Amino acid sequence: MANAAPASAAISAAPASASASPASGAAIVLAPPAARRLLVSPLAAGRYEIRFTASADTHDKLRRAQDLLRHAIPSGDPAEIFDRALKALLEDLARKKCAATGRPRTSRGTARGSRHIPAKLKRAVWLRDGSRCAFVARSGRRRAERGFLELHHVEPHAVGGEPTVDNIQLRCRAHNAYEAECSTARARSSNANTPFARAL
């Protein structure tokens, strides 16, 4: 959160529209949708104004954090407190999602045919793919999506794909589902061309 600044400019509202009343046929003027204010506005190089509405519970948590951090942040600056909170949150998410750790343990390996992806492999994949979708379009352009990421088997597990660094990549949910559909379609096409299927 940056220092207080004038409210951000509102996004232009759509013009009012009219529709006919089913009872009288008279035009009814519909009120335009409420203007939405920008949530993030650049103020200067490396400085942003961030606005959001918080619950009373969140407000109380901020006040308690300000009191407990007076020795480190005497001003109680919310921007510094939120920066600390986000850093701790990201570290926690990295441990849960990416198996990040400062003291990695020796892996016991994975049984052949298992769907289990070892923590060491997860860390390697997230690091290699840069924490974003690794899907590459036919044009050669790589996706930049960083949300809803999932671990994807390049060669599907159903056809023997093993959990290895070469066979596991990051995909956003949409492209993971898309590639699963493509794999299913290829499998159906292959099965349809078997001698038994042609004899039916």
**Amino acid (one-letter) located at 91:** E
Token output for 35: 């203007």
| pLDDT tens-digit series, residues 34-63 | 555 558 888 899 899 999 888 999 999 999
What DSSP line would sit under 68-108, residue for residue? Answer: HTTTT-TT--HHHHHHHHHHHHHHHHHHHHH---SSPPPP-
List, in order, residues 6 or more apart from 33 with CB less than 8 Å away. 13, 14
Taking the C-alpha atoms of residue 95 and residue 101, their distance in angstroms, rounded to an integer, is 6
pLDDT digits (tens, 9 = 90+) for 83-122: 999 999 988 988 888 877 777 766 666 666 677 888 889 9
pLDDT at 13: 38
Give residues with Cβ within 8 angstroms of 79, minimum separation 6.
1, 2, 3
Q: Where in the chain are the domains?
A: 119-192
Q: How many CB atoms lie within 10 A of CB 163?
A: 18
What's residue 3's pLDDT? 46
pLDDT band of residue 197 (cuts 50, 70, 90) is very low
- The pTM assigned to this predicted structure is 0.56
* pLDDT tier, 73 (very low <50, low <70, confident <90, very high otherwise): very high
Average pLDDT, the chain: 78
167-196 tens-digit pLDDT:
999 999 999 999 888 888 877 776 655 554
